[in-house]
Amino acid sequence: MQPAEMDRLIEEHLVAEAAGNVDGCVAMYTDDVEHDVVGWPKGAMHGKDEAASFYEELTREIKTEEMTVLRSYYGDDFCVIEHQWNGTVPGTFMGIPGNDRRISFRMLHLWEFRDGKMSRENVWLDGGSIVAQLTAEEAAVA
C-alpha cells in the first residue's frame, strides 16, 4: 500500500473520531482488526464491534479539537505517526474526571494495513502528561 492511501484512510478515521462518528471510525478497519491502546483498562480489542465500543466510550469522554502530525514513517504495510493531541475532557480520561479541562499530549500511532484497510491500530499515549494536566491544582478547583 502506498503512503498516500494510508494517509487517506488515517485522515478519514481521525475526522470520524473527532466528529464522534463511531461507524465512521471503524469503517476503514478489517473485520478482524486489532485495536490496542496500550494501558487501556479493557486491554486490546478484537474485531469491529469491540473497536466500536472503544470509540463509543472515547468520543463520549474526550473531544479531539486538533491532532497535529509531528513525524511519519512508512513501510510496505504499516505506518507510524507521532501526533500532538489537543482537546477537552468533559468526561473521564485515564480514570480522572476531566471537568472540561483543555489538555495537550503526544501520542504515537502504529497502523498496519491489509487488503486496502486498517488491520491493526496500536496507540501509545503520554499518560504522565495527561495525568499531570488533569490533576493540576487549577483542575482540582474547577
**Tens digit of pLDDT for each residue in 48-72?**
999 999 999 999 999 999 999 999 9
Cell numbers placing 84: 500532538
Q: In terms of DSSP H, where are the helices of 20-120?
A: 22-26, 47-61
Q: Between vectors from CA 89 to CA 88 and to CA 94, what angle results, nearest 5°?
A: 135
41 or 73: whose pLDDT is higher?
73
**Tens digit of pLDDT for each residue in 81-118?**
999 999 999 999 988 999 999 999 999 999 999 999 99
CB of 86 closer than 8 Å to CB of 104? yes
Number of Cβ within a 10 Å radius of residue 43: 11
DSSP code at position 91: S
pTM of the predicted model as reported, rounded to 2 decimal places? 0.89
| pLDDT of 39 | 84
Which domains are assigned to the chain? Answer: 3-141 (3.10.450.50)
Position 137 confidence tier, pLDDT thresholds 50, 70, 90: confident
- pLDDT higher than threshold 60 for residue 142: no
